[in-house]
């Protein structure tokens, strides 16, 4: 049955990628030359695909992944439950409540995209196309939704580390890396990133982060009325190219030939949250028991972090690349590894100090 589930997951991933290429091409290419009636149809198809089809794929493939992984994959199950809740809230519940099928555009904080900032500028293309459809009230609701999502991501990361966004909430690449994990890559075998590969990714990461940070800062200054050169039209086009090539198409290329977390190596939001995770004290503890040097943690890590080397010394793993997926923890046969942050440590210590009264009573009765 396991191989059958993997085959089904691979088929769904192929369908997801093909639909994405076709519909994205229509939405971002042909739609600008189409008649008003055709534009309406393309927009409806795109929104239906992004919200309902994507959510269906997440639920179906997430369930299949749980079946494939088996009962010992506790961290992976928590990830998938988080993505189920995130998809249902962002793609189903919130759009129905607000009657806005494009809220997913505002579910990722800066510096991932400047779309929310562009929406605040009356002469930007996104404002000119959305205002006739949403009105001022609709635009205000979209921006409020963005502020709420930003607060959820930032506060959550401070408490729970990068795991909160990258392995629980992210509906761009994080969800795909988890729900399609056993189907990736679609061609060939799953590969590990070498030292030279990491260096290449590092160059791309800082280049994309610099570009994203520059665009974010420029829009903030521009909207604040601080004199800066006007690149509002060019900025929108740069964002579109960045999204279509470096984010959408390249990430799917990784899914087909490489690894699920390829985009996570240079995601600008992930890079930013990596620094916040440092403030949260995010780390993989490696001293719960003795490391048996089985290499399973290294082999299963999607970010190619050398975990075993640290575990052999009993040292914490606090790597900026760590997305907190917990695959290494699930894979460890000796239960040496565990995920933690300062906040999680406090919760754990509080449970030790104030144990559950019901459990204490059970011990007394025994």
Residue 182: pLDDT above 70? yes
Residue 98: exposed, middle, or buried by beta-carbon count in 10 A (0-12, 13-18, 19+)?
Answer: middle
Give per-residue burial for 111-141: e unless 16+ CB within 10 Å, then b: bbbbbbbbbebeebebeeebeeebeeebbeb
Residue (of 63, 61, 54, 44) closest to 19 by Cα position? 54
- Domain boundary (251, 274, 297) is at 274
pLDDT band at 34 (very low <50, low <70, confident <90, very high): confident
The three-class DSSP label of residue 77 is: helix
pLDDT band at 360 (very low <50, low <70, confident <90, very high): low
pLDDT band at 248 (very low <50, low <70, confident <90, very high): confident
Residue-wise pLDDT tens digits, 278-287: 999 999 999 9
* pLDDT of amino acid 355: 63
Partners of 284 in beta bridges: 317, 339
Residue-wise pLDDT tens digits, 249-285: 888 999 999 999 999 999 999 999 999 999 999 999 9
Whether residues 126 and 254 share a domain: the answer is yes
* pLDDT of amino acid 195: 87
* pLDDT of amino acid 351: 76
- Residues 107-130: what's their mean pLDDT? 91
Cα separation, 206 vs 212, whole angstroms: 10
User: Which helix (H) or strand (E) is 340 found in, with range?
Assistant: strand 338-340
User: Lowest-pLDDT range, 137-141, 181-185, 243-247?
Assistant: 243-247
Handedness of CA 180, 186, 192, 195 (dihedral sign): negative
Whether residues 114 and 255 share a domain: the answer is yes
pLDDT band at 241 (very low <50, low <70, confident <90, very high): confident
Cα separation, 277 vs 265, whole angstroms: 15
Residue-wise pLDDT tens digits, 47-88: 999 999 999 999 999 999 999 988 788 999 999 999 999 999
Give 266-303 as a DSSP string: T-HHHHHHHHHHHHHT-EEE--SS------HHHHH-TT
Cα separation, 190 vs 75, whole angstroms: 21
Residue pair 183/9 in contact (Cβ under 8 Å)? The answer is: yes
Residue-wise pLDDT tens digits, 195-207: 899 999 999 999 9
User: Lowest-pLDDT range, 16-20, 141-145, 172-176, 225-229?
Assistant: 225-229
User: Lowest-pLDDT range, 40-44, 162-166, 201-205, 328-332?
Assistant: 40-44
Residue-wise pLDDT tens digits, 329-343: 999 999 999 999 999
Cα separation, 254 vs 263, whole angstroms: 8
Whether residues 10 and 37 share a domain: the answer is yes
**Residue 26 has which token pair?**
């229509």
- Domain boundary (239, 274, 309) is at 274
Whether residues 198 and 231 share a domain: the answer is yes
User: Which helix (H) or strand (E) is 339 found in, with range?
Assistant: strand 338-340
Helices (H), strands (E): how many in the chain? 18, 2
Whether residues 219 and 353 share a domain: the answer is no
CA R_g for the chain: 22
Cα separation, 359 vs 32, whole angstroms: 64
Residue 212: pLDDT above 60? yes
State the CATH number of the domain containing residue 327. Answer: 3.30.70.20
Whether residues 238 and 109 share a domain: the answer is yes
| Number of domains observed in the structure of the chain | 2
* pLDDT of amino acid 41: 87
Whether residues 243 and 326 share a domain: the answer is no
The three-class DSSP label of residue 334 is: coil
Whether residues 75 and 197 share a domain: the answer is yes
Give 120-177 as a DSSP string: TSTTSHHHHHHHHHHHHHHHHHHHHHHHHHHHHHHHHHHHH-THHIIIII-TTTHHHH
Domain coverage including residue 100: 2-274
* pLDDT of amino acid 295: 94
Averaged confidence pLDDT in the chain:
90
Whether residues 257 and 356 share a domain: the answer is no
- Domain boundary (220, 242, 274) is at 274
How much of the chain exceeds pLDDT 70, in percent? Answer: 96
- Residues 224-230: what's their mean pLDDT? 84
Helix axes 125-160, 232-241, angle to 10 degrees: 60
**Residue 250 has which token pair?**
């390249």
Whether residues 350 and 240 share a domain: the answer is no
Phi-psi bin for 80: left (phi > 0), alpha (psi -120 to 50), beta? alpha
- Asked, as a colleague might, if the bond just before 185 is cis with ω within 30 of 0, I would say yes
Cα separation, 348 vs 358, whole angstroms: 17
């Amino acid at each position: 049955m396991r191989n059958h589930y993997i085959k089904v997951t691979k088929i769904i991933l192929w369908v997801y990628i093909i639909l994405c290429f076709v519909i994205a091409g229509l939405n971002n290419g042909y739609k600008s030359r189409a008649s008003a009636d055709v534009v309406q149809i393309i927009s409806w198809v795109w929104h239906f695909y992004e919200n309902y089809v994507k959510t269906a794929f997440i639920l179906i493939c997430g369930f299949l992944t749980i079946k494939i992984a088996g009962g010992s994959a506790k961290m992976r199950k928590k990830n998938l439950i988080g993505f189920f809740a995130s998809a249902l809230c962002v793609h189903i519940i919130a759009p129905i409540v607000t009657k806005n099928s494009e809220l997913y555009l505002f579910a990722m904080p800066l510096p991932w995209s400047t779309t929310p900032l562009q929406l605040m500028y009356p002469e930007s293309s996104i404002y000119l196309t959305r205002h006739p459809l949403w009105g001022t009230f609709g635009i205000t609701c979209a921006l409020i939704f963005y502020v709420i999502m930003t607060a959820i991501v930032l506060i959550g990361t401070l408490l729970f580390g990068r795991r909160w966004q990258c392995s629980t909430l992210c509906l761009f690449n994080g969800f795909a890396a988890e729900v399609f994990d056993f189907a990736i890559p679609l061609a060939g075998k799953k590969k590990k990133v070498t030292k030279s590969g990491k260096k290449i990714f590092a160059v791309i990461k800082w280049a994309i982060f610099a570009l994203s940070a520059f665009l974010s800062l420029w829009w903030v200054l521009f909207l604040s009325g601080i004199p800066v050169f006007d690149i509002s039209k060019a900025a929108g086009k740069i964002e579109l190219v960045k999204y279509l090539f470096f984010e959408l198409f390249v990430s799917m290329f990784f899914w087909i030939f490489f690894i699920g977390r390829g985009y996570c190596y240079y995601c600008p939001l992930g890079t930013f949250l990596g620094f916040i995770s440092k403030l949260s004290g995010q780390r993989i503890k490696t001293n719960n028991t003795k490391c048996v040097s089985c290499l399973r943690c290294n082999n299963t890590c999607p970010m190619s972090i050398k975990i075993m080397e640290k575990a052999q010394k009993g040292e914490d793993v606090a790597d900026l690349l760590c997305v907190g997926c917990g695959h290494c923890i699930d894979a460890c046969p000796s239960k040496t590894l565990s995920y933690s942050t300062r906040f999680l440590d406090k919760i754990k210590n509080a449970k030790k100090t104030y144990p559950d009264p019901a459990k204490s009573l059970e011990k007394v009765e025994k």
